[in-house]
Structure 1
Amino acid sequence: MYEFDNFNLIWDHAMGIDNGNFGKDHGIAFIGNNATLELDRGGWEVIEEKNSDKKISVARKAPSENGLDAHTKNFVDVIKSRKMSDLNCPIQTGAHIATVCQMGNIAYRSGEKVVWDKAAEKFTDNKLNKEYMMAPYHNGYSLPKV
């Protein structure tokens, strides 16, 4: 579970066992008070909450394109053109998502609740920083001084 200032995020991983939420092997769900938006690479749908007074279900819709291929093409096109303004998803967004994912891995491995200091770009617990922020070098290798 991730606790942010204005919302919580629950990560439930079932990839590879074909037994995730909504009977899917992958996807994401945005759960609201009246309905849930469920989406994956095969499309999306809005699922009404059983006790909701509002009727807002939307039947499953197929994607209009292959999003992964479109994302990859955009990335490669920007590498070729060097026009960062054409990038549909900024590098900083990917870095942020990678940080959040790794926080979950580190919380799991350490058995600790982790707290991220965004300004310092490290954990508030120095023990976690020392143990997980940089892999130890072996066999005489070291990070070069630049």
Structure 2
Amino acid sequence: MGYNHHGLVYSINVIFPQKVLAGKTPRHFLCRALLSAKTMETAQQILRDRGTGSADGFSVNMSFTRQEGDHLFHNAEVGPAQDTDESPMSILTLSPGEHLLHTNKFLRLTHIPEEVGLCMTSSDHRHARAAQLPSPDNREDLECSTY
């Protein structure tokens, strides 16, 4: 997790692709570089890492608290840059009132093979359980024990 004086706040979820690439930028470095982002455009440029690309996979949940208008929430999935010099990336932007469950698996970059194991099984179970529940309409729904 991190934040900066430009109003960026973010958290990271690790995603485990089958191949972690040598000679590419480790996710720790890209996430550290996010601390310099002043805008969403800059954050995307950092994560895309043109010229090298990411060595592995991760998901970034972020928001810019000092922007004008509604506070938007962004989820970026970043994958390993295999056979390319920039990270494959998918950005989902949510407005106030929308919600997202994102665990340690790709939801949009589904063409990237992931490791099979406990982390994937756990993620699949959490998504399956969430699919059984009604969508939350307010904060109280999120705090309710039936969720």
Q: Do Structure 1 and Structure 2 share a fold, with TM-score over 0.5? A: no
**Higher Rg:** 1
Which structure has more relative contact order (CA 8 Å, sep 6+)? It is 2
Question: Could you tell me the TM-score, scaled by structure 2's length?
Answer: 0.29
